[in-house]
Amino acid sequence: MRLHTPPRWRFRLSSLQRYARNFNMPLRPLGFSTGSLSPGNARQALAMLSHHATTAIELSALRTTELDEVLEVAAGTNWSAFRYISFHAPSKFNGTTEAEVLRKMKPIIERQWPIILHPDAITDWAAWEKLGSLVTIENMDGRKPNGRTVGELESIFARLPEARFCFDIGHATQIDPTMKLARELVTEFGHRLIEVHLSVVDDAFGHQPLTSESMKNFAPVLRGLVGSSAIILETPVDEKTMVEQLRLVGSPHVPS
């Protein structure tokens, strides 16, 4: 899948190294969610990523209608180019059940890929608890009824004691622009952290591209991350703007 593209379009490893230096942290796996690259078309998203030296990917089946296609891509792709791969489970189980979705997700479970899960979607807690540390709970934005704050997430992790944490900094900032909530989430659940979602979340709860200003705002929290959690961009992009977004993560405009 390593297609030829003009060098000026490519995101190179030197940019990844600059990103690591700017955030004063080890070179973390960095990449995109397929849902931000090409919603509902994981194959097209992979074609876009094949042009660049990204090392992480989140396969997104945010809607149950996307599940079969994403699972086909998961089964039919050589993933050796990626250091980190996760799978985003549907955010709602409309027209199906959690048991049926979990049955279909058996190949993902067998690969031991982290499964990103919205806590407000859970009704069958016992089924998810059986997956142990594969379950990765994402903090929610302000429109959701739970999973937003430290207290709400503590009650969720009490029911899923082995679950890991996906920190969505855009969700936290949408609720609290002062970044206090973001810092609290990292402090309380940093030991569970395996993945970070990076984007700007607007007042309509939509994911928007990163800006220099948003990265300056995020930088102190990102520098406080422990471990080697992957960075997944959820910014809506096309072939050219995805490079701009990746470069912005390593931008010298972000204070070091």
pLDDT value, residue 65:
92
Q: Is there a domain that residue 219 lies in?
A: yes
Percent of the chain with pLDDT over 70: 87
pLDDT value, residue 242:
86
Q: How confident is the model at residue 115 (pLDDT cuts 50, 70, 90)?
A: very high
Paired strand residues for 28: none
CA distance 234 to 116: 13
pLDDT value, residue 208:
83
What is the reported pTM? 0.87
Q: Which residue has the tokens 């936290």?
A: 172
pLDDT value, residue 254:
35
Q: Residue 31's closest CA among 92, 66, 79?
A: 79
Q: How confident is the model at residue 23 (pLDDT cuts 50, 70, 90)?
A: low
Sign of CA dihedral 38, 39, 44, 49: positive
The total number of structural domains in the chain stands at 1
Please indicate whether residue 173 or residue 53 has the higher confidence score (pLDDT). 173
pLDDT value, residue 256:
34
Q: Is there a domain that residue 122 lies in?
A: yes
pLDDT value, residue 16:
52
Q: How confident is the model at residue 248 (pLDDT cuts 50, 70, 90)?
A: confident
CA distance 121 to 145: 10
Q: List pLDDT tens digits, range 170-224.
A: 999 999 999 999 999 999 999 999 999 999 888 777 788 899 899 999 999 998 8
Q: Is there a domain that residue 107 lies in?
A: yes
pLDDT value, residue 96:
92
Sequence-ordered list of residues with C-beta below 8 angstroms from that of 95, at least 6 positions apart, any chain: 64
CATH number at residue 36: 3.20.20.150
Q: Is there a domain that residue 255 lies in?
A: no
In the predicted model, what is the mean pLDDT of residues 117-133? 97
Residue 62 backbone phi and psi in degrees, to 5: -65, -25
Distance set, CA 90 to CA 35, 68, 224 (Å) = 12, 11, 30
Percent of the chain with pLDDT over 90: 68
Q: Is there a domain that residue 189 lies in?
A: yes
Q: Is there a domain that residue 21 lies in?
A: yes
Range from 14-18, 64-68, 127-131 carrying the lowest mean pLDDT: 14-18
What range does the domain containing 29 cover? 7-249
Q: Is there a domain that residue 1 lies in?
A: no
Q: List pLDDT tens digits, range 133-156.
A: 999 999 999 999 999 999 999 999
Average pLDDT, the chain: 87
Q: Is there a domain that residue 215 lies in?
A: yes
Q: List pLDDT tens digits, range 74-85.
A: 999 999 999 999
